[in-house]
Chain A
């Protein structure tokens, strides 16, 4: 089971000898919103499906997975990535966490300081003197190295 947090829940239940009985079980996930959860479930299913299809061929698995990931990234808004990471972190879903972290890193790679701040909605909280010094010392990092 990929969602390790959910798996842990089931393990805990078994340890407490609570019979779950029917196939429907309610598992509370207080820190996950519906939208990222839906994406994560789709990702997980796709991941398992590709793995099953290419059981012997690891390279093929990776290739197909990459293609799927590229397509997924096109549909996901950059700002949603943060929510996805939080959800994957809470669910302890390692592959998805790794993928989304990589996606965020690629989004800000080779960009200037101003771009990164704008992208994440961050503001500089350096002291005025420090900000001046940074601008002077790292002039190259304020010009967009890549076009936004």
Chain B
């Protein structure tokens, strides 16, 4: 078979910025032309002018192909691409980009670290390239160490101080927001301690929306338990909060605010109280908390609020959890999160090991499976964060160290977080590149820019750099160190 092809290249200058226009026409051989396959979305790339460009440039690619390429990049490179030119920035905000990004084989869940000190304001989220950690072997010799600087940073908005004229205060309580939970690329933030007011923020696009106060906010008493989630059917984001009102300070009321609407709605009394909002975990359209029941033993349950039905439900902890461990005094040895799309609970009540349970079938308490049993020296404050793409488990220990656990070879890698502060929180978040207004919908939206909120106060809390330091070769479970912890140097 012979193929004839035309030596013909055509250029369409879509926009002329300078007076140069290039067109090359060569001898053509006339044939019946086959119809050019049209891409599903319109070609939106424009050709930049330059006298030294080769005959085809990347801007000649159809939009969806360029989106395909950019969606394969790691997060830091996508953020770089957004700054290359305005066309690329538009492409990255396109819903097709998000579709490609979420469909790629690497998991979209990303890890961020944030300093959590009481004495400093911190608005910086530092991205951890977990993919690169997996691809970089640990230092071979125990005495060697390797250091990775966390370059890629995102910023959270700065809170307004409640007391007027205290702009010079640097107390975290006045200016920092706590992160409540993350859902579909958006974070819910709230002022610490009282957990009110709330902010909904997309750190990737640098936008945020302040959730309006309710008319009768003055009758709120005590702390608020907030949660944030998304209803798939109605495609709406909602904030739920459990509050006490002065009219009845013994009965929690449930209130819901749908983003894009004008005001909060009261759902009715909450079926229980939550003394502390522990481990707010969002999964499958439901926000979950660990809760201590009112009975004598004070057994621990998982409660959930379904954003679609706007109703509460309860799940028991795993049946063989250890009866004693389900009781109130052990609450601080437990933690809850999501691992590999399953609700998971970590039991650190034992002195020599920890158990990690996963609810394999969501909603079915009989599907609780003890997935990992990891020997440790002390039942220390281990908190599983996420499952990495190769099956390793990433955990944080004592708010200062990241542990990467290989369940097959049963050994750990340690990465110590170094920064000016010594206490950190780890946040898992699926990035969203869609502008907040489009993601949320609705009318009553006042979208503000994160950078704007910082400049209003005249300070940003200073630049902060974090490093991950890994020392020595991986260690077996029996070689875990004793006395790591919060007493780090400052």
Contacts and interface: CB of A to CB of B under 8 A. Distances in A.
Interface string A23-53: 1111111111110010000000000000000
Contact of A89 (B62, B81, B84): B62
Interface stretch (A56-64, A66-74, A102-110): A102-110
Interface string B39-73: 10000000010101111111111100100111011
Contacts of B31: 26, 28, 30
Given A85-B61, A125-B48, A27 B83 contact: no
B8 A30 contact: yes
A2 interface: no
Interface in A83-127: 83, 85-86, 89-90, 92, 97, 101-102, 104-105, 108-113, 116-117, 120-126
Contacts of B52: 121
Nearest to A134: B83
A76 interface: no
Contacts of A23: 1
Contact of A109 (B1, B3, B74): B74
Interface in A123-147: 123-126, 133-134, 137-138, 140-141, 145
Interface string B1-19: 1111111110000000000
Nearest to B129: A110
B285 to A, nearest CB: 33
A108 B58 CA distance: 13
B72 A26 contact: no
Given A86-B60, A122-B58, A30 B80 contact: no
A31 B69 contact: no
A105 B86 contact: no
Contact of A90 (B4, B36, B50, B451): B36
Given A9-B34, A117-B84, A126-B85, A101 B72 contact: yes
B283 interface: no
Interface string B79-104: 11101111100000000000000000
A54 interface: no
Q: How large is the interface on A (under 10, 10 to 19, 20 to 34, 35 or more residues)?
A: 35 or more
A13 B87 CA distance: 39
A83 B8 CA distance: 13
B153 A140 contact: yes
Nearest to B77: A109
A145 to B, nearest CB: 6
B33 interface: yes
B32 interface: yes
B261 interface: no
Nearest to A27: B3
A83 B56 CA distance: 6
A89 to B, nearest CB: 6
B268 interface: no
Interface residues of B, number: 52
Interface in A1-30: 5, 8-9, 23-30
B37 interface: yes
Given A28-B34, A30-B6, A101-B72, A124 B84 contact: yes
A144 to B, nearest CB: 10
A23 B1 CA distance: 6
Contact of A102 (B5, B55, B72): B72
A10 B9 CA distance: 25
Contacts of A24: 1-2
A130 B153 CA distance: 19
A82 B61 contact: yes
A3 B171 CA distance: 64
Contacts of A97: 65
B205 to A, nearest CB: 12
Contacts of B69: 101, 104-105
B34 A85 contact: no
A122 B87 CA distance: 11
B219 interface: no
A25 B68 CA distance: 34
A33 B385 CA distance: 51
Contacts of B56: 82-83, 86
Contacts of B61: 82, 85-86, 89
B152 interface: yes
B261 to A, nearest CB: 32
A141 B7 CA distance: 40
B77 to A, nearest CB: 5
A89 B8 CA distance: 17
B151 interface: yes
B444 to A, nearest CB: 28
10 contacts: A34-B7, A86-B56, A97-B65, A101-B69, A105-B69, A123-B85, A125-B87, A126-B86, A140-B151, A141-B152
Given A27-B4, A120-B57, 17 more contacts: A8-B34, A26-B4, A29-B5, A29-B34, A30-B34, A79-B54, A85-B61, A89-B65, A101-B72, A109-B74, A120-B59, A122-B85, A126-B85, A126-B86, A134-B83, A137-B451, A140-B152
Q: Which 8 pairs, one residue from A and one from B, show the smallest C-beta to C-beta distance?
A: A28-B31, A105-B72, A140-B151, A29-B5, A121-B53, A141-B80, A120-B58, A26-B4
